[in-house]
Chain A
């Protein structure tokens, strides 16, 4: 039963991942990516990682995908007239991806999964166990991640802000507000000295 669930989810994940690459409309790519992420989340559930399932659904299928959709709609990219690479390059891409697959499969073919003690498996995905790990052993990385998220937020806001300035003052494209003020002062001085 669970093996069939695994096959079904894997098939759906790989198929929709392929559709992400090969669909012509970026909106469809995003929607297929949502399907892939949901399938991967269900795999987490199959591996009894409930906490990660919840976080994955919220972060990936929720936040990141909405961000992608929002950007595509903001840039008005939901058309199918996107230029494609030449057939030669596309063929090369498929060949090199196939070669990578072959190399990885060949490298992992002999690897035998060692026999594992399953007595603790069903417990480790629980919020309690993961929380204990996160706030004891991994407390410092956790705090550093919060700093990273803060830095990313500040960075994203600053990028959006410079862009807002540029559209608001199209005549001074590359200058910030300070140099614009400087130019205003110099023109004022010139007018005064006339």
Chain B
């Protein structure tokens, strides 16, 4: 079983994971720029975090060092905290302004 997994890692070049993570990250950036719904923008930020997580896990596996995976674990905890607080803020904003459209929520824009 372990030999199979090692061969699986060997069968896929590390560069492929770099391209995949880049693609996912860029799609996240595209979503942040493209959409106006604050919740969708939030989801795209999660997508970007996931792309970085995937790349960290790939590097960790290819280097045989577990620290990268521990780091991903911490990133997940921070992302969970961020989502909880962010969505609570969004709900409060929605109840005050009746919208989650970021073109309306521009009070902090100079």
Residues on A lying within 8 angstroms of B by beta carbon are 2-3, 6, 10, 13-14, 17-18, 20-22, 26, 29-30, 33, 36-37, 40, 43-44, 46-49, 51-52, 55-56, 59-60, 63-64, 67-68, 71-72, 74-75, 77, 82-85, 90, 92-94, 96-98, 100-101, 104-105, 108, 111, 113, 116-125, 129-130, 133-134, 137-138, 141-142, 145, 148-149, 151-153, 155-156, 159-160, 162-163, 166-167
Contact = CB atoms under 8 A, between A and B. Distances in A.
B95 A163 contact: yes
B30 A21 contact: yes
Provide the main secondary structure of the chain B interface.
helix
Given A2-B12, A37-B50, A82-B37, A18 B27 contact: yes
Given A47-B58, A152-B84, A162-B92, A75 B100 contact: yes
B100 A48 contact: no
A121 B43 contact: no
Contacts of A121: 5-6, 9, 61-62, 64
B73 A52 contact: yes
Given A18-B27, A133-B67, A49 B91 contact: no
B36 A85 contact: yes
A46 B12 contact: yes
Contacts of A142: 74
A26 B39 contact: yes
Interface of B: 2-3, 5-20, 22-31, 33-37, 39-40, 42-44, 46-47, 50, 53-54, 57-58, 60-67, 69-70, 72-74, 76-85, 87-92, 94-95, 100-101, 103
